[in-house]
């Protein structure tokens, strides 16, 4: 009987001992994997972290952006908060949509023409038409009423433009036709808190460092 008791207890002991060993292993694995999940809050500062790293290397002197990108530049330079940047972009989008519905227009890219010649061609048009974006030497975008774009295309070609390409856009952005949107966006900007900037912000509208 003693031998059977010892045999039974040793088998039972091995079973219990095996189960005890496997259970903690699963728990320990779960504990190790849980902290690896990145907190959601840290993801919001990815852009700022990148700029901080760039600054340490001594390469970052300022920021700039074109059109909508100017708001990104303001956020990147710590001029405004990320949240306020989103609010301003939303106001801008909604008000520009309204302006497009009230005053339909379009834009066209002009290739191979000097600034002064293009500006003089725009003056000759009776409808609303302005040079909107000076992208680079030899490439300027004009913006205005749809009829104005059609009328100026021939004049531009006659004055030496290589190409005049009407753009597939929803309105005459960066033109007087956006005046109503400008007024509403100005109100939103005036109600936005601006911080002391950490990096120089360069305005593409005024072509120079600001703030």
Catalytic residue IDs:
67, 174
Distance CA 95, CA 199 (A): 29
Neighbours of 46 (CB within 10 A): 8
Dihedral sign from CA coordinates of 174, 179, 95, 80? positive
Q: Are the beta carbons of 173 and 143 closer than 8 angstroms? A: yes
Q: Are the beta carbons of 121 and 127 closer than 8 angstroms? A: no
Q: Are the beta carbons of 163 and 149 closer than 8 angstroms? A: no
Nearest by Cα to 61 from 179, 208, 201 = 201
């Amino acid at each position: 009987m003693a031998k059977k008791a010892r045999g039974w207890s040793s088998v039972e002991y091995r079973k219990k001992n095996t189960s005890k060993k496997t259970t903690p292993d699963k728990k320990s694995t779960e504990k190790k994997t849980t902290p690896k999940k990145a907190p959601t809050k840290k993801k919001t500062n990815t852009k700022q972290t990148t700029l901080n790293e760039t600054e340490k290397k001594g390469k970052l002197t300022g920021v700039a952006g074109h059109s909508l990108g100017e708001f990104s530049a303001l956020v990147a330079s710590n001029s405004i908060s990320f949240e306020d940047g989103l609010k301003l972009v939303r106001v801008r989008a909604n008000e520009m949509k309204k302006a497009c519905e009230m005053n339909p227009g379009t834009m066209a890219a002009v290739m191979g023409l000097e600034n002064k010649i293009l500006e003089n061609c725009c003056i000759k048009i009776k409808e609303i038409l302005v040079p909107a974006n000076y992208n680079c030497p030899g490439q300027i975008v004009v913006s205005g009423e749809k009829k104005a774009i059609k009328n100026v295309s021939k004049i531009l070609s006659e004055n030496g433009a290589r190409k005049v390409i009407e753009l597939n856009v929803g309105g005459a952005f960066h033109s007087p036709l956006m005046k109503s949107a400008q007024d509403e966006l100005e109100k939103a900007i005036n109600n936005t808190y601006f911080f002391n900037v950490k990096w120089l912000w360069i305005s593409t509208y005024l072509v120079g460092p600001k703030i």
